Amino acid sequence: MVAVDRTSAAERPRGTLDRVPPAYWVVGVLLLVLPAFVSPFILFQIMGWSFVLGLIALSLTFLGGYGGMVSLAQMTFAGLAGYLVAIFGDSAVDTISQGWPWWAVIPLALILTVLFATLVGWLAVRTEGIYTIVITLAIAAAFFYFTRQNYDIFNGFQGFNSVLPPHLFGVDWRGGVAFYYLSLFWAAAGYFLVLYLARAPFGLALQGVRDNPRRMAALGYNVTAHRVAAYALAGLIAGVGGILLTWQSSQISPGTIAIGPAIDILVIAVVGGLRHPIGAFIGALIYVLLKIFAVDVLVALGLSGERFQLLIGLGFLVIVFFSPDGILGLWDKLRASMRRDPLTGRDRSDLP
Amino acid sequence: MTRGLLGSLSTVALIAVGATGAAAQDDGPITIGILNALEGTYAVPGQDGMRGIELALMQHDHKAGGRDIEIVVQSTDTTPDSALRGARKLVEQDGVDFVIGPLSGSEGIAIRDYSKTQPDVTFINGISGAMEMTMVDPSPNLFRFNIDGAQWSKGLGDYVFNEKGYKTVATIGEDYSFIYTQVFGFVTEFCEAGGEVTERFWVPLGTKDFGSIIAALPDEVDAIYLGLGGGDAVNFLNQYQQAGGEANLIGGTIMVDASVLNSQGRAKEALIGVPSSGPQADTWDDPRWTEYVDAYRDAFPEGERFPSPSLFATGYYNATNAALQCLDTVEGDLSDDQVAFRDCLSNLTLESPTGTITLDENRQAIGTNVVTEVVEREDGTLANELVKVVENVNQTLGLSPEAFAELGLPSRENPECKSEY
């Protein structure tokens, strides 16, 4: 893993703060002061949505990149958490919504989501490769149709509207700046959690399971348990993302968790790059920018705006065509070519 | 470094994008944001909606109140999420002066809630038909110039009871708000006239196999009301004919829509003679309607339009026309939170192709509804023939506001079938 290599390459022992790479400082400060420069639309709709989708895609990056399991059910976990918040908390559908306080609703929603993810994981880890994709896709499709046809709990086609975040500390968390910081906080939390786990014993064992499950089993690791635990954790991350997504659009309905959005999450993760958690967020930002501005680009070029989906698809195609590893792979390629000596073709750092 | 550079690059790019989204100036062009479904199930009707907007703009030379008109289009896929995102982009990013849209029911409810958070922008509905949009917690800056799904049923219940002589009816409908609203309108009128609705069947949107429903249909009813649309309608008719069904049918508004009447195959023939109702009829001889149809046919080459404008084209056409007329009245003055513009909209008497439209105190249209019957034209195509015109249909369907409020909102079982409301 890139991340693992980088830390082991540290030349001398340093203090905790010193060990934070400068890039983190730059991005961190930029993200923190961003609200001073840009409109609430960019904060809420572009950045906020990117963070939220990135968080859901991060759960897939974690499963896929570190666990070697590609799951299409991540949007389903996110959607379930969103639905549970609407069902136990407040919404405009007061015949179903229980109206319980937020401190009960949110933990309950997350616990149930993790349980569901564990169950799905327990089913899915019995399969490998393309079969995992198929079984998780089947779960996503089944959940979508179930929510659309169940009226007693999920309110069918309509779903729930007016699902709003609690007014904590007197802040309207759906305001541009407030939602930006809220989503930034959870995106950062998810990011560092995955980064930390990748180097923790659990994460290392998981990567071992990914690379050679037989050897890991021979070494005494419980392969199935590690994989199921990865699903549970990914379910938690996706669940947090799902709750934020529901608050952002203030509603949840079967359309939010349909097959299309489920596949979008995979597209985001792949376009960004599965090798490092930052890939999920880069992919989400590109997805959101394309989704919002593709129509304007076409119209600016004097073309009919109706074909904007084509532009979105082409954008993704170009990225994946030039770099199967997504944007992260593109960056690595660029760096490798800069390091290479154009005359000898050898790595410059190897030269005396 | 990887992350740092990419992160900061994208941030810079974003700031650059943000800087270009400045609001329109007072003497410059007026920007209208259009919210329309150009993807998903309703892409084809959505495109016809765009034709309605273009036609209205063409007839106005793309000018109103002495200022040029520019439009910014934002597509939705008829989910409330996409409508909300689209509206946010139009208002907060593109800085449009007002918004026209959306197309479908659930979107309308999302836009109603959003419009309350943007008090200085005016919203004019496209063709969303959900009753709640203007009935429940109406928003002061949201205007709707089309009558809603329940109003589209006005006249039908009375007609099938008195003229057709149907005393008992079972209903089949897609399981979502728009059809609840349509059935709501039908049931209240039909039952008040003396009829009885024996059973209501609900099928999920997108049902392919109607076998079990067809088997469960009662034999002893006089007619079956069909609240289906698009592919569902065609599938049902196919399977119903194959099963040898011969009951009398009654159509909801989208059951006899152009997309079903122009579908391939013989299934649609079961619709010949079926009574229905809605805001427009293909063979209406009102000069306002024929003029509009001619203009529509002239404006777009054959093959790039429907034989005659759909409900969706008319809805967006009326909304755009109302806005342009009021811009003329206020001479393009949108200052002072668009107060004058909104005043004009509230008090406008819109002479539309589908009759005269005025707004009530919730800024909801009071307009004309028509009862139609499907006929076969000489060239073999099907069309909706005008049977009866009901004028001045208001949102409470002629009931007092109190009596109407007592009915509750449309749902699977609501309202009950009673002889008096």
Give B266 to chain A, closest Cα distance, Å.
Answer: 30
Mean pLDDT of B95-114: 88
Residues from chain B contacting residue A42 (CB–CB below 8 Å): 14, 17-18, 93
Mean pLDDT of A206-213: 91
Residues from chain B contacting residue A309 (CB–CB below 8 Å): 39
Residues from chain A contacting residue B71 (CB–CB below 8 Å): none
The percent of chain B in helix, strand and coil, each rounded to the nearest 5, is 40, 20, 35
Q: What is the CATH number of domain B151-278+377-407?
A: 3.40.50.2300
Q: Are A249 and B7 in contact (CB < 8 Å)?
A: no
| pLDDT over 90 at B59, yes or no | yes
In whole angstroms, what is the distance from residue B40 CA to residue A60 CA? 26
SS3 A29: helix
pLDDT of residue A81: 95
In whole angstroms, what is the distance from residue B307 CA to residue B296 CA? 9
In whole angstroms, what is the distance from residue B421 CA to residue B399 CA? 8
What 3 state SS string does A49-65 have? HHHHHHHHHHHHHHHHH
Question: Where is average pLDDT lowest: A14-18, B349-353, B389-393?
Answer: A14-18
pLDDT category at B169 given cuts 50, 70, 90 is: very high
pLDDT of residue B348: 92
CATH topology of domain B27-147+288-367: Rossmann fold (3.40.50)
Q: How many CB atoms lie within 10 A of CB B313?
A: 30
pLDDT of residue B290: 92
Q: How many CB atoms lie within 10 A of CB B297?
A: 15
Q: Are B175 and A157 in contact (CB < 8 Å)?
A: yes
ipTM above 0.90, yes or no: no
Query: Which positions 28-87 of A are in contact with B (Cβ < 8 Å)?
Result: 30-31, 34, 37-42, 44-47, 49
How many DSSP H helices and E strands does chain A contain?
Answer: 16, 2
Determine how β-strand B67-76 pairs with β-strand B63-64: antiparallel
Residue in chain B closest to A31 (alpha carbons) equals B11
Q: Which residues pair with B75 in a beta bridge?
A: B36
Query: Which positions 272-291 of A are in contact with B (Cβ < 8 Å)?
Result: 276, 278, 282, 285
Mean pLDDT of A21-32: 82
pLDDT of residue A339: 78
- Chain A and chain B share a number of CB contacts under 8 A equal to 131
Ramachandran angles phi, psi of B297, nearest 5°? -70, -35
pLDDT of residue B400: 87
Q: Are A327 and B106 in contact (CB < 8 Å)?
A: no
In whole angstroms, what is the distance from residue A159 CA to residue A149 CA? 10
- Give the up-direction half-sphere exposure of residue B350: CA atoms within 13 A in the CB hemisphere: 32
| pLDDT over 60 at A10, yes or no | no
Q: Are B175 and A156 in contact (CB < 8 Å)?
A: yes
Residue of A30, A255, A293 lying closest to B11 (CB–CB): A30
The domain limits of chain B are 27-147+288-367, 151-278+377-407
Q: B305 near B293, Cβ under 8 Å?
A: no
Q: Which residue has the tokens 């006005």?
A: B154
pLDDT category at A350 given cuts 50, 70, 90 is: low
Q: Which helix (H) or strand (E) holds B75?
A: strand B67-76
Q: Are A278 and B89 in contact (CB < 8 Å)?
A: no
| pLDDT over 80 at B301, yes or no | yes
- Give the up-direction half-sphere exposure of residue B65: CA atoms within 13 A in the CB hemisphere: 23
pLDDT of residue B34: 94
- Continuous H helices in B243-356: 258-261, 287-299, 311-329, 335-347
Which CATH number applies to A39-285: 1.10.510, 1.10.3470, 2.60.40, 3.40.1360?
1.10.3470
pLDDT of residue B409: 84
pLDDT of residue A312: 79
pLDDT of residue A254: 87
Residue in chain A closest to B92 (alpha carbons) equals A41
Question: Where is average pLDDT lowest: A33-47, A139-153, A250-264, A300-314?
Answer: A300-314
Q: Which residue has the tokens 């560092």?
A: A192
Residues from chain B contacting residue A338 (CB–CB below 8 Å): none
pLDDT of residue A15: 63
Q: Considering chain A, what is the average pLDDT of its residues?
A: 84
Query: Which is more confident, A296 or B254?
Result: B254
pLDDT category at A142 given cuts 50, 70, 90 is: very high
Mean pLDDT of A16-25: 75
Q: Which helix (H) or strand (E) holds A172?
A: none
Contacts of A200 (CB under 8 A, 6+ apart): none
Q: Testing the interface with A: which of B41, B44, B79 to mutate, by most A Cβ within 10 A?
A: B79
Determine how β-strand A160-161 pairs with β-strand A251-252: antiparallel
Mean pLDDT of A65-86: 92
Question: Residues B56, B57, B61, B67: is their CA dihedral positive or negative?
Answer: positive
Query: Which positions 168-207 of A are in contact with B (Cβ < 8 Å)?
Result: none
In whole angstroms, what is the distance from residue B102 CA to residue B89 CA? 14
Q: B173 near B200, Cβ under 8 Å?
A: yes
In whole angstroms, what is the distance from residue B237 CA to residue B251 CA? 12
Mean pLDDT of A166-185: 83
Mean pLDDT of A314-341: 80
| pLDDT over 50 at B291, yes or no | yes
Q: Testing the interface with B: which of A96, A144, A249 to mutate, by most B Cβ within 10 A?
A: A249
Q: Are A161 and B109 in contact (CB < 8 Å)?
A: yes
- Give pLDDT tens digits for B321-373: 999 999 999 988 888 889 899 999 999 999 999 989 999 989 999 999 999 99
Percent pLDDT > 90 in chain A is 36
pLDDT category at A349 given cuts 50, 70, 90 is: low
pLDDT of residue B126: 92
Q: Are A157 and B93 in contact (CB < 8 Å)?
A: no
Q: Considering chain B, what is the average pLDDT of its residues?
A: 86
Residue of B5, B74, B93 lying closest to A41 (CB–CB): B93
Mean pLDDT of A142-147: 91
B265 contacts chain A (CB < 8 A) = no
Question: Where is average pLDDT lowest: A233-237, A280-284, B5-9, B38-42?
Answer: B5-9
In whole angstroms, what is the distance from residue B37 CA to residue B46 CA? 5
Residue of B38, B80, B89 lying closest to A253 (CB–CB): B80
Q: How many CB atoms lie within 10 A of CB B33?
A: 24
pLDDT of residue A304: 65
Mean pLDDT of B301-315: 87
pLDDT of residue B143: 94
Question: Residues A189, A191, A192, A198: is their CA dihedral positive or negative?
Answer: positive
| pLDDT over 60 at A261, yes or no | yes
A22 contacts chain B (CB < 8 A) = yes
Tell me how far the alpha carbon of residue B107 is from its chain's centroid. Answer: 11
| pLDDT over 80 at B230, yes or no | no
| pLDDT over 50 at B286, yes or no | yes
In whole angstroms, what is the distance from residue B155 CA to residue B337 CA? 40
Question: What is the model's pTM?
Answer: 0.79
In whole angstroms, what is the distance from residue B192 CA to residue B222 CA? 17
Q: Testing the interface with A: which of B1, B6, B38, B48 to mutate, by most A Cβ within 10 A?
A: B6
Q: Are A256 and B81 in contact (CB < 8 Å)?
A: yes
C-alpha R_g of chain A? 21
B8 contacts chain A (CB < 8 A) = yes
Closest CA to A117 of A49, A56, A193, A164: A56
Q: Are B113 and A255 in contact (CB < 8 Å)?
A: no
Give A43 to chain B, closest Cα distance, Å.
Answer: 10
Which amino acid is present at B348?
L
Do B27-147+288-367 and B151-278+377-407 agree at the fold level?
yes
Q: How many CB atoms lie within 10 A of CB B373?
A: 22
Q: A114 near A274, Cβ under 8 Å?
A: no
Q: B399 in the Ramachandran plot: left (φ > 0), alpha (ψ -120 to 50) or beta?
A: beta
pLDDT of residue B313: 92
Q: B281 near B370, Cβ under 8 Å?
A: yes
- Give pLDDT tens digits for B72-98: 988 888 788 888 889 988 998 888 999
What 3 state SS string does B219-263 have? CCCCEEEEECCHHHHHHHHHHHHHCCCCCEEEECHHHHCHHHHCC
- Give pLDDT tens digits for B257-267: 877 887 777 77
Query: Which is more confident, A24 or A154?
Result: A154
